[in-house]
Amino acid sequence: MSRVRLAVLITLSLAAIAVPLTAASGASSGQAKGKTITIGISLSLSGDFSDSGKAAMRGYQLWRDVVNAHGGLLGNQVKLKILDDTSSPTQVVTNYQTLITKDKVAFVFGPFSTLLTAPAATVANRYHYAFIEPAGGGPAVFGEKLHNVFFTQPAPIIDSADVFAHYILSLPKSKRPKTAAYPSLDDPFASPIADRVRTLLQKAGIKTVYKTIYPSETTDLTPIVSKYAAKKPDLVVGGTQNDDAYAQVKAMVQLKFSPKFLFLSNGPNDPAEFPGKVGQKNVNGIFSTGDWFPDSKSPGNKAFVKAYLKKYGGGSGSIDPTSAEAFATGQVLQLAVAKTHSLDNGKIISALHKGNWPTVEGVLHWNSIGEPQGSDLLVEWVHHKLYPVYPKSIALHAPTAPKPPWGKG
């Protein structure tokens, strides 16, 4: 009996050693024309991030259809193997382990959100897979300093509002705000964004009259808004996620306080949801930031929007930016495969560290740890529609300031 057990143990140990080796060899499987190659992805198809997970899935699947219609990758048809991680950072690790070691997929793409991307990227790195990913733009991902990560948005999340500071500083001094308030959510993707804007604007002489960080369980923002409204700042910069952004706007309307400039890092950049949450008539003049918009002039965007609407229906305003980010992830791989003429992950990683990569998210390029080196777009609600307004090169409408009173514009 003990011999049998010993044999089982040895076999299992050998298998444990052999699996990463075979997987690693799978990761650099060279090229083989005319076959089907599988790309493994873990997505949040249930749980807290399921809406975004499904949006990412639509983007990936659309890219698969488009690439296959154009002959696939080096003549190989692309198949996606998508596993549900239930929005769990533990399950996502298991899923990528399975995809790489058991399913031996040729490539992997990233999941949704930094929370899941950070552990997933580590798994991919262990097996020497390129980790092109659409939604992990937070410090937790780049803090790992992995060489295989490539975030397919124009800028890391915490730099996303720099473009607003640049816009304000581009105004003549007489038209700039003199005072500013910075109410921010206690969230790694909210308060650091507002902090960066504050640093830039303070340096330029715009006085901070109020700043606070409110905890995520704060459902009622009226006391905070009444506090900063009493100080009458010209500018309000909110480091926000969606629901607190809606709550701030609602409280401002109720307290009849309308600053000359209002920037909220998240919330107003969702054209499908924002008007319904705060009232269509209250959106005008509000600034936000974003990585992609339906009317964006980025390379291939028109074709992407057309193909998306053909496949999924609806209007262009209903396309979740996450779908575009996922599509761009596929585009990056497609370009890298074409450039290296190889399906080898190592060669693709090396190639992506050099040059510029045109996608629907703009022309992307990364530093050594996968942080994109571009800039997000500044967007503003003008005449009840969301437009990219700055920088000028991508603007579809000139920025309008000061913000009209609530219900006007």
Partner 1 sequence: MHLVVQACILGILTGGVYALMASGLTLVFGVMRVINVAQGALVILSAYLSWALFMHFQIDPFLSVLIVAPLMFALGVSVQLVFIRSLRSEQAEELSLLITWALALGIEGILGAVYETTYRATNTTYANSSWTVFGYHVSVVRAYAFALSVVILVLLYLLLARTRFGRSVRATVQNPASALLLGVNADRVRAVAFGIGVSTAAAAGAVYGVLYPFNPGSHYDLISRLLSIVVLGGLGSVAGAVAAALLMGVVEAIVAVEISPVWSSFSYFVVLVVILLLRPQGFFGARQRTL
| Length of the chain (residues) | 409
36-43 and 286-290 strand pairing: unpaired
Contact 194, 238 (CB under 8 A): yes
Nearer to partner 1, 117 or 282 (CB): 282
Nearer to partner 1, 218 or 373 (CB): 218
204 is a site residue for partner 1 (CB under 8 A): no
Contact pick of 19, 74, 169, 255 for partner 1 (by CB under 8 A): 255
Residue with tokens 């777009």: 377
381 binds partner 1 (CB under 8 A): no
Total site size for partner 1, rule CB under 8 A: 38
Tell me the closest approach of the beta carbon of residue 240 to partner 1, in angstroms. 12
Q: Which of 103, 144, 186, 295 binds partner 1 (CB under 8 A)?
A: 186
Would you say 201 or 253 has its CB closer to partner 1? 253
Q: Binding partner 1 by CB under 8 A: which of 6, 203, 220, 392? A: 220
**Of 54 and 198, which has the nearer Cβ to partner 1?**
54
Return the structure tokens found at 358.
């045109």
Is 386 exposed, middle or buried (CB count within 10 Å of its CB: 0-12, 13-18, 19+)?
A: buried
From 20-28, 154-162, 194-202, 206-214, give the range in contact with partner 1 by CB under 8 A. Answer: 206-214
CB-based contact 388:394 (threshold 8 Å): yes
Report, in Å, the least distance between residue 242 CB and partner 1.
6
Nearer to partner 1, 2 or 219 (CB): 219
Peptide bond between residue 134 and the one before it cis (omega within 30 degrees of 0) = no
The nearer residue to partner 1, 49 or 390, going by C-beta atoms, is 49
Q: Does 224 bind partner 1 (CB under 8 A)?
A: yes
358: left (phi over 0), alpha (psi -120 to 50) or beta: beta
Euclidean distance between CA atoms 292 and 348, whole angstroms: 25
Count of alpha carbons within 13 Å of 116, Cβ hemisphere only? 32
Judged by DSSP in three states, 292 sits in coil
Closest CA to 346 of 20, 28, 25: 28
Please report how close the Cβ of residue 282 comes to partner 1 at its closest, in angstroms. 7
CB atoms within 10 A of CB 245: 27
Least distance from partner 1 to the Cβ atom of residue 212, Å: 6
Binding of partner 1 by 46 (CB under 8 A): yes
CB of 376 to partner 1, least distance (A): 22
Q: Is there binding between residue 278 and partner 1 (CB under 8 A)?
A: yes
Q: Is 47 in the site for partner 1 (CB under 8 A)?
A: yes
Going edge to edge, which strands form the sheet with 107-109?
77-84, 36-43, 107-109, 131-133, 149-151
Establish if 189 lies at the interface with partner 1 (CB under 8 A): no
Q: At what angle do helices 301-312 and 321-340 cross, to 10 degrees?
A: 120
Using rule CB under 8 A, residue 247 touches partner 1 = yes
Distances (CA, A) of 314 to 310, 338, 388: 9, 32, 21
**How many other C-beta atoms are found inside a 10 Å radius of the C-beta of residue 232?**
11
- Whether the CB-CB separation of 184 and 238 falls below 8 Å is answered with yes
Residue from 276, 314, 404, 405 touching partner 1 (CB under 8 A): that is 276
Q: Is 250 in the site for partner 1 (CB under 8 A)?
A: yes
Q: Of the listed pieces 69-77, 195-203, 214-222, 338-346, which binds partner 1 according to CB under 8 A?
A: 214-222
Residue 146 in contact with residue 168, Cβ under 8 Å? Answer: no
Q: Measured from the CB of residue 338, what is the shortest distance to partner 1 in angstroms?
A: 36
The verdict on 51 binding partner 1 (CB under 8 A) reads yes
Q: Of the ranges 6-14, 65-73, 159-167, 243-251, which one interacts with partner 1 (CB under 8 A)? A: 243-251
Reduced to 3 states (helix: H, G, I; strand: E, B; else coil), residue 220 is: coil
Contact 131, 120 (CB under 8 A): yes
223 binds partner 1 (CB under 8 A): yes
CA distances for 80 relative to 4, 55, 105, angstroms: 40, 15, 9
Please tell me whether residue 254 binds partner 1 under the rule CB under 8 A. Answer: yes
208 part of the interface to partner 1, by CB under 8 A? no
Q: Is 227 in the site for partner 1 (CB under 8 A)?
A: yes
Shortest distance (Å) from residue 262 CB to partner 1: 15
Going by C-alpha positions, the residue among 27, 33, 16 that lies closest to residue 103 is: 27
Contact residues toward partner 1 (CB under 8 A) are 46-51, 54, 186, 212-215, 217-220, 222-224, 226-227, 230, 242-243, 246-247, 250, 253-256, 273, 276-279, 282, 406
